[in-house]
Structure 1
Amino acid sequence: MRLMTAKQSLFGLVLGIASSLGLAQEVTLKVHHFWPPGAMPPTRILQPWCDKIAADSANKLKCQIFPAMQLGGSPPQLIDQAKDGVVDIVFTLPGYTAGRFPIMEVFELPFMTNSAEAAARAAWDYYGKYASKEFTGLKPLMFSTHDEGYLHSREKQIKSMADLKGMKLRAPTRQTNKLLASLGATPVSMPLPGVADAVSKGTIDGFALPWEVIPSVKLHEMVKYHTETDPSRPALYSAVFILAMNQAKYDSLSPELKAVIDRNSGAQLSQHAGRIWDESQAVGRKPAMDRGNVFYTVPAAEVDQWIKASHPLYDDWVADMDKRGLPGKQMLQDAQALLAKYKK
């Protein structure tokens, strides 16, 4: 009996030493997202990140990626799948759950920026200052926005606010819905996977999307007209993306594996993702050009009218923050200051 006890004690000691050195722990992280497998974000942002944490951990950390909602549920449920531990990591938009993350929505207000890299860096800093309580149960690994958002329509070219009147246009987030309504359109809230079917059936007349994602779901083949905005003005809209990990899963990792996650996440990963989104614009635009689709750039003077018409959304957001006991005006100014800082 004493010999058995001694062996058990020795075994426990060896296990403890191995664990403390990070030798015993091998972890496969279950990662879920809504894009088709070949889309830009999973191939150029997510997969390289997974490869990097595997290399840095001597393959103790690995990803098992499930694209296109393969594990079930709908895109708005992804954030809770991570929070509840159904999966370990999700790549999604907080804005798919309307009104749940209102602080980070500041970067989804219209005409804030036309640089995804600047927005990604600003969003990471802003999260640390104001929004950490919005993500209880989650460990954000990255925030980013996409490249400039534009309008794409099936049967009518959009050149002015008058053209938008009565058009049913898909929007990704609450603030983009409000933007389209302020310009006279009829917004239809819809995650990306539903857009192709809605366009083909005529449920919507068009959609708000950045160029990056359009080829992966072949939407350039379902519309004829594309409306861009004068590059001297900020982009029509942006949407915020998050790579988020279940907090309890992160906490369960050894110190060495936590350090691998930390070294490869945060401000640096956010900036990297934003830069990739900016670079993806021309590539995403090319298939629509090759198909012979019709392009129109809204001139600066007309864009200024759109900016003026949608400005009350800023006041509404500030008022909402104030009602929550937060310094709304200062928060908006800080977001704008961070965007200006990182655009230089």
Structure 2
Amino acid sequence: MKMLKCSIAAAVAFGAMTVSTFAQDVTLRFHQMLPPQATIPAKAIKPWAEKVMSESGGRIKVEQFDAMALGGKPPELYDQAKDGAVDLIWTVIGYTPGRFPTTEAFELPFMMTTGEATSRALQEYCEKNCMDEFSDVKVIAWHAHGPGLIHSKDPVNTLEDMNGLKIRGGSRVINQMLEKLGATPVGMPVPAVSEALSKGVITATTIPWEVTPALKVSELVKNHTTFSGKNGLYTQTFVVAMNKASYDALPDDLKKVIDDNSGMETAAFFGRVMDEGDTAGKAIAEKLGNNIIVLDEAETQRWKDAAEPLIEGWEAEMDGKGKDGKALVEEARSLVDKYSGNM
């Protein structure tokens, strides 16, 4: 009888341990806007998810949902994470204009260098300056893409070629920049670019090389305009974010897995993946025999001069929000220089 009681007690204890272990297993749903073959879902999100699953010993499962498979539109992704409709998202910060103003310093003209260096700079900057704007989610990382450029049906060789050009812009600041350069900006999320080019809604678009293969942009246009010097025309900023309640519900050891895959090195990884995607995207355009234009230093300076009032205006706008706009721009530039080294 004594042995039977011990056996029952052991069985109950084992059962409790098993239930407890299974109770700590979790499935996280990761939602984003691009098709699965695009650079970020294939080369960044998928490896990140696999690393999290491996380091959790299989106790975290990440299910990846691409191309808005769970519904909604790209500008709704951040709120899907905030509200708990999904657990994790990757999105363009600028898809919700004015909501995260402090991050916009990195979208200003000729601020960025490479995806990786600018992502490191953005991560450090946001950890210091942007936490209040993202307080309703658990931020995994902020990052940026490589040098933004102009892809157009007709060649853009000079600043004058921008006059009246119907061109897609991906954020409030980028649209304002395009206006300063003489163009007519048309705002839209990146998944809409291919159809808009095909139907003539736009005749040009601003995106990095990295995303052109997934959108077939090099087949839809034959001209690509880039700039001299180390700074690209623009970048867009992105966030990988997690629902706070989903994170808070994890046991401490699984929180550590998420934490270990958050922050500076994760930001750098996403930026580096986009740099590598730029190389691949440009190679496709070259193979197609497209016209790749590199504006010389004098012409590039004309574009910088034309865009300068936007920077001054943004600084004044931030001052009106109680932030030191000039200090934010100077800090962003300093951090980009810091992480860009001797480029």
TM-score scaled by structure 1? 0.93
Q: State how far apart, in whole Å, the 2-side matches of 1:301 and 1:11 are.
A: 79
Q: Where does residue 324 of structure 1 map in the other structure?
A: 321
Q: State how far apart, in whole Å, the 2-side matches of 1:26 and 1:267 are.
A: 27
Q: Where does residue 286 of structure 1 map in the other structure?
A: 283
Q: Does the 8 Å CA contact 2:316/2:325 hold for their aligned counterparts?
A: yes
Residue correspondence of structure 1 range 177-196 to structure 2 within 5 A: 177-196=175-194
SS in 1 for 2:292: strand
Distance 1:12-1:82 versus aligned 2 partners, 3 A rule: farther
SS in 1 for 2:266: helix
Q: Where does residue 110 of structure 2 map in the other structure?
A: 111
Residue correspondence of structure 1 range 1-344 to structure 2 within 5 A: 15=16, 19=20, 24-154=23-153, 156-230=154-228, 232-344=229-341
Q: For each residue in 1:186-212, what CA deviation from the matched residue of structure 2 results, as whole angstroms up to 9, or x when unmatched?
A: 000010111111100101011001000
Q: For each residue in 1:263-284, what CA deviation from the matched residue of structure 2 results, as whole angstroms up to 9, or x when unmatched?
A: 1111111112212222221111
Q: State how far apart, in whole Å, the 1-side matches of 2:123 and 2:32 are.
A: 21
Q: Does the 8 Å CA contact 2:113/2:336 hold for their aligned counterparts?
A: no
Q: For each residue in 1:9-58, what CA deviation from the matched residue of structure 2 results, as whole angstroms up to 9, or x when unmatched?
A: x9699748975xx6641111011101111001111110001000100011
Q: State how far apart, in whole Å, the 1-side matches of 2:16 and 2:132 are.
A: 36
Partner amino acid, structure 1, of 2:181: L
Q: For each residue in 1:52-98, what CA deviation from the matched residue of structure 2 results, as whole angstroms up to 9, or x when unmatched?
A: 01000111111111100111111101111111100000011110111
SS in 1 for 2:130: helix
Residue 287 of structure 1, CA deviation:
1.4
Q: State how far apart, in whole Å, the 2-side matches of 1:42 and 1:290 are.
A: 24
Residue 333 of structure 1, CA deviation:
1.3
Partner amino acid, structure 2, of 1:168: K
Q: State how far apart, in whole Å, the 2-side matches of 1:96 and 1:333 are.
A: 24
SS in 2 for 1:137: coil
Q: State how far apart, in whole Å, the 2-side matches of 1:18 and 1:318 are.
A: 56
Partner amino acid, structure 2, of 1:313: L
Q: Does the 8 Å CA contact 1:233/1:303 hold for their aligned counterparts?
A: no
Q: State how far apart, in whole Å, the 1-side matches of 2:87 and 2:13 are.
A: 28
Q: Does the 8 Å CA contact 2:30/2:64 hold for their aligned counterparts?
A: yes
Q: State how far apart, in whole Å, the 2-side matches of 1:12 and 1:261 are.
A: 29
Q: Does the 8 Å CA contact 1:170/1:190 hold for their aligned counterparts?
A: yes
Q: Does the 8 Å CA contact 2:144/2:235 hold for their aligned counterparts?
A: yes
Q: State how far apart, in whole Å, the 2-side matches of 1:88 and 1:320 are.
A: 33
| Structure 1 runs not aligned, ≥5 long | 1-6
Q: Does the 8 Å CA contact 1:138/1:245 hold for their aligned counterparts?
A: yes
Q: Does the 8 Å CA contact 2:113/2:340 hold for their aligned counterparts?
A: no
**Percent identity over the alignment?**
41
Q: Does the 8 Å CA contact 1:15/1:24 hold for their aligned counterparts?
A: no
Q: Does the 8 Å CA contact 1:31/1:89 hold for their aligned counterparts?
A: yes
Partner amino acid, structure 2, of 1:244: A
Q: State how far apart, in whole Å, the 2-side matches of 1:14 and 1:254 are.
A: 19
TM-score scaled by structure 2? 0.93
| Structure 2 runs not aligned, ≥5 long | 1-7
